[in-house]
Every structure is written in structure tokens, then in C-alpha cells.
Amino acid sequence: MQDQTVGRPDLRGDCERCFGLCCVALPFTASADFALDKQAGKPCPNLRGDHRCGIHAELRQKGFSGCTVYDCFGAGQKVSQVTFGGADWRTGSRADARRMFDVFPVVRQLHELLWYLAEALDLDAAHPIRADLRRALDRTDELTRQTPDELAELDVPAHRQEVNALLLKTSELARAGIRGRKKDRRGADLMGARLKGADLRGASLRGAYLIAADLTGADLRGADLIGADLRDADLTDADLTGAIFLTQPQLNAARGSAGTRLPGSVTRPVHWTTRL
């Protein structure tokens, strides 16, 4: 796992403190991202007895690029060490294991919201709503610490909707001070779009489909990229300085180069500069 969510260690995956939950709880389908089918709750055949991946150094070469993109935002160690108090699914009852696998995706969604809220609180422009953001962050963190039964019954979409309203206000405040035209491409279908060198400063690209889009040399400074699908998007030499709500998984799914400029909250994916 790469060093992710810089400066927020509790919101990045720590495999040393996790029981390989993402390799067991989640399903995947044979595709360009995964070399085989796996059902939810069934251990990946590459998962070793010590909860480590047996092909971690060769995931992309072995057809598991989807694993290099995924990040749990720290939910793995939260569920392993806090929710279940360090109880290993391998040695516990089947019922406890199933509950752990059911709870993990819930906590993962909450931790993703914590990541967004933490970024929002770091933005100077968010000062007018900082108190609301802090309350939302504290409430979300409180939810992650509930019992397994409480987490299983949690209405995550409803909580996400409340948080998203604050994140939208944060985005509007942050982008208001950016010079130039602020394009609204929210939810736009830009799959395979030719956007080489495009001026997208301060643009709203929330939930936009940018799969395989050519963003070579594009100016994405201050753009809102929350939920944007960047799979196989070409970010070679693009400028994402100050882009808001850009996560490491989004970046890992894209293509880029040593010349791609990034916000300080993420790190340059190794595969961008390493020849396979």
C-alpha cells in the first residue's frame, strides 16, 4: 500500500494493523482490473496466512491492477482493532467473520467522508462554515466507533447527503476566488474526451465521467474532483495544484507522469514513473 492521504495517518490504510479485510470482504469480477472472480466474504487466493498479499510486488503484472487502485481510508485497521477489538476473522466464529465483512464497507464509506471533511477543514476559504464542518467530522468519527450491530443498521446514504451539502458549500467557497471561467461539468459524460491543454481552473467536475479522457497538459488548478471517475484518464503534465477532494484511489486509477503537478494531500503513484 502506498503512502496515502499525506498528513492524515488515521485516514490511510495500515495493512500492519488490518486482517486483510479488503482481500476477503469485497467481491470482484474477472476484468481488466482483476484476473479472476471472487465472491464477497471469500479470501483472495493470493492472501497469505499472515494477512499479506503474496503477489503485492507484482499486482499489475499479474492482472490485479484494481488492488493497486483501492484504498480503505483507514477503515481496515478501524474495524480490525477498534470495532472488533483485535479479533481475527480467521480464528473467530463464522458469524463474527460475516459481521466483520458486512461492517467493513460501512466504515470504509464513513472514513472516506472523514477524509473529505478533513480536507475541507484545511481550506482557508471554508472559514465561514468551519464550525459546521467540525461538527460533521466529529459526528462522522463518532459513527465509526459504534458497535457492529449499530453500524450494520446505519443509514449511510442519509448521513452522506448531510455531509455532501457541506462539501458542496466548501467547494463553492474555495472556487469563488479562482480567476477565469469556472466551468460547470458536474456529472458530465466526458469519457474519452479530448481535453488536452484545456483550461479547467476552478471547474466543477463533481461526479464527472472522465474515463480515458485526454487531459494531457490540462489546467485543473482548484477544480472540484469529488467523485470524478478518472480511470485511465491521461494526466500527463497536467496541473492539479490546489484541486479539491481529489483522492489517492482516483489518482491511482489514472495515468500520469513525473511532470504532473499534484496537491499536497496525495502522492504520485509509483506506476506513473516505473516501467513495468
Q: What is the pLDDT of residue 6?
A: 45
Q: 81: pLDDT confidence band, cut at 50, 70 and 90?
A: very high
In the block, residue with C-alpha cell 460533521: 136
223 to 15, 102, 128: CA distances (angstroms): 31, 34, 20
Give the SS3 label for residue 229: strand
275 band by pLDDT with thresholds 50, 70 and 90: low
Q: Determine contact, residues 173/129, Cβ cutoff 8 Å.
A: yes
Weakest-pLDDT range from 114-118, 210-214, 265-269 = 265-269
Instruction: Give the cell for residue 149.
Output: 450491530
pLDDT value at residue 2: 36
**Average pLDDT for the chain:** 93
* pLDDT tens-place string over residues 161-201: 999 999 999 999 999 988 876 789 999 999 999 999 999 99
Position 197 scores a pLDDT of 97
The cell numbers describing 191, all together, are 469519457
Long-range contacts of the stretch 126-130 (C-beta < 8 A, 24+): 126/170, 126/173, 126/174, 128/173, 129/166, 129/169, 129/170, 129/173
Q: Is 224 helix (H, G, I), strand (E, B) or coil?
A: strand
Alpha-carbon torsion (83, 120, 163, 115), positive or negative: negative
pLDDT tens digits, residue range 87-143?
999 998 999 999 999 999 999 999 999 999 999 999 999 999 999 999 999 999 999
Q: Is the pLDDT of residue 3 over 70?
A: no
**Cβ pair 117, 123 in contact under 8 A:** no
User: Where does residue 225 fall: left (phi above 0), alpha (psi -120 to 50 degrees), or beta otherwise?
Assistant: alpha
Considering only residues 129 and 13, tell me which one the structure prediction assigns the higher pLDDT.
129
Rounded CA-CA distance 91/79 in Å is 16
* Best CA proximity match to 223, nearest among 207, 208, 242: 242
Q: How confident is the model at residue 239 (pLDDT cuts 50, 70, 90)?
A: very high
